[in-house]
């Protein structure tokens, strides 16, 4: 059934949180939770694009997540590597552009190459955009932007200049940020781009965040009155 919305976010960000607690509640390992969490991503993306959302940014692995135990970090990265490699085919078929951004300096070369190949092979995609934030931190993104602005010798700096130096250059600001698992914080995700984003928090844990939960979030957004400082 096609859902109709009177107003939709153009760009939605998902903070995919709660894999560990979901697994714990089932007596399973945290890594099992990460695997299950990765299995709902496609359904979430499909629901968004079917509804008419144009851009989705997934918070997949943050700068701070490097501080987790090595075996968990390794497994999360392995799962994301697999997801990207698999989603690439779907993206190509559905004319979706895949973009992966963050600091990749600690990733292994093979993974970096696969990411690059996925991004390259989908770069002509016009019907939707999926950003995967990986090794990503918003503060580091802003710091890097300023370093590059200085390096380029740019002296006339406006709000747009800074936007143009972020990983999301050329993309619309995020309209809606969804965070699962009951936490009500941004955890260093899209801080500059979310200046006027609506924030939706749900207690649902990420592996349970399926189609109907996406619709619920979009319906909630539909009922917001965005004033952007006006009356």
| Positions marked active-site | 17, 65
State in angstroms the smallest separation of the CB of 19 from ligand IPE: 4
Helix, strand, coil proportions of the chain in percent (round to 5)?
45, 15, 40
- Helix or strand run (H / E) with residue 45: helix 41-51
Q: DSSP class of residue 31?
A: H
8/23 with CB nearer ligand IPE:
23
Q: How far is CA 39 from CA 18, 123, 209, in A?
A: 14, 24, 10
In the region spanning residues 46 to 65, those forming contacts with ligand IPE, defined by CB under 6 A, are 59-62, 64-65
- Select the span of 10-18, 77-85, 127-135, 170-178 touching Mg ion (CB under 5 A): 10-18
What are the tokens at 224? 């917001």
Q: Does 38 bind ligand IPE (CB under 6 A)?
A: no
48/60 with CB nearer ligand IPE:
60
State in angstroms the smallest separation of the CB of 33 from ligand IPE: 7
Closest of 161, 159, 213 to residue 12, by C-alpha:
213
Out of 9, 17, 77, 134, the residue judged to bind Mg ion by CB under 5 A? 17
Q: Which residue is nearest to Mg ion (CB)?
A: 17
17/198 with CB nearer Mg ion:
17
Which position has the token pair 């406006």? 158
Out of 8, 15, 100, 178, the residue judged to bind ligand IPE by CB under 6 A? 15
What are the tokens at 65? 């997540």
**Who's near 87: CB < 8 A, 6+ residues apart?**
41, 42, 98, 118, 130
Residues β-bridged to residue 200: 178
* Site residues (vs ligand IPE, CB under 6 A): 15-21, 59-62, 64-65, 76, 181, 183, 185, 187
């Amino acid at each position: 059934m096609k859902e109709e919305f009177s107003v939709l976010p153009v760009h939605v960000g998902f903070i995919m949180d709660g894999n560990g607690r979901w697994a714990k509640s089932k007596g399973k390992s945290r890594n099992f939770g990460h695997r299950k969490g990765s299995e709902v991503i496609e359904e979430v993306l499909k629901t968004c694009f079917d509804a008419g959302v144009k851009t989705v940014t997934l918070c997949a692995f943050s700068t701070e997540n490097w501080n987790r135990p090595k075996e968990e970090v390794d497994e999360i990265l392995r799962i994301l590597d697999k997801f990207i490699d698999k989603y690439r085919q779907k993206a190509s078929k559905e004319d979706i552009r895949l973009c992966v951004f963050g600091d990749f300096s600690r990733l292994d070369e093979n993974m970096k190459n696969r990411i690059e190949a996925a991004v390259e092979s989908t770069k002509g995609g016009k019907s939707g955009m999926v950003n995967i934030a990986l090794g990503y931190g918003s503060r580091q993104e802003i710091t890097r932007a300023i370093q590059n602005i200085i390096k380029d010798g740019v002296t006339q700096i406006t709000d747009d200049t800074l936007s143009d130096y972020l990983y999301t250059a050329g993309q619309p600001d995020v309209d809606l940020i969804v965070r699962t698992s009951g936490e009500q914080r941004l955890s260093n995700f899209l801080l500059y781009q979310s200046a006027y984003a609506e924030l939706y928090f749900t207690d649902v844990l990420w592996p349970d965040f399926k189609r109907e939960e996406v619709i619920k979030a979009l319906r909630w957004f539909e009922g917001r009155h965005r004033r952007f400082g006006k009356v």
